[in-house]
Structure 1
Amino acid sequence: MRLLETASGKFSLLLDAGTTQVDELIEESGHEPNGYFWEGVARFLVSTEAPSLEARFQYDSEGGMFCAYGTDQEELRHLGELMSAVATDGDRVRALVAAAEAAGFEFDD
């Protein structure tokens, strides 16, 4: 995860898809570890663990990269911390995918 200031007062949170410690586990769960999958992770985390972040930034992911952007650096940093916990912990990613699927959430990967 990288948090960059792209212009004065504008920030982007980025993750290069296919570079995490849990990519193989994501594939085993029937998903592709691409930018769209990670956007789904972000959206699910916001809705379940950090609803105060809802609608506080935009997403602009693509196949090879997850991207969230906005003007509040701390909100994006918070999202980055939540996502880093998933991107580095196999048990956490398995639990998140299971919870999302049980809730009827669909990853757009």
Structure 2
Amino acid sequence: METTPGAFSLLLDAGTTRVDELVEELGHEPNGYFWEGVAQFLISTEAQTLEGRFSYDPEGDMFCAYGDDRSALEELATLMSSVATDGDRMRKLITSAEATGFEFDD
């Protein structure tokens, strides 16, 4: 969404996705901080070109990424949507992250 002219935010209400129960089963809390970790891991493994193109401001009940690069946020939205709606993809992401020593801040 465009919050002010030229400034954009990507929001996700934590606790409202199809994979929340799975995330909890895998030992994590599906809060805004967890989703920031998902975004960071996705960028580091699948979309390095997004690195540094926006900032994060999560809270317990919401994930937020923001900046002036609308296309970068739209690309992140596509990546995150694919994880938030697909249990197999989420399971693989968490397993891969933990195998590399990545820690979710949840």
1:101 maps to 98
Which whole-Å CA distance do the structure 2 matches of 1:58 and 1:74 have between them? 14
Once the two structures are TM-superposed, the CA of residue 6 in structure 1 deviates from its matched residue by 0.3
Determine helix, strand or coil for the equivalent of 1:6.
Answer: strand
Determine helix, strand or coil for the equivalent of 1:13.
Answer: strand
Alignment gaps of 5+ in structure 1: none
Q: Deviations over 1:54-78 (max 9, x none)?
A: 0110000010000000101111000
1:83 maps to 80
How many equivalent residue pairs?
106
Determine helix, strand or coil for the equivalent of 2:81.
Answer: helix
1:36 maps to 33
Structure 2 residue corresponding to 1:20, chosen from 3, 17, 22:
17
1:50 paired with 2:47, answer yes
Give me the CA root mean square deviation.
0.3
Once the two structures are TM-superposed, the CA of residue 11 in structure 1 deviates from its matched residue by 0.2
Alignment gaps of 5+ in structure 2: none
2:8 maps to 11
The runs of 4+ residues in structure 1 deviating greater than 4 Å are none
Determine helix, strand or coil for the equivalent of 1:11.
Answer: strand
Which whole-Å CA distance do the structure 2 matches of 1:104 and 1:81 have between them? 25
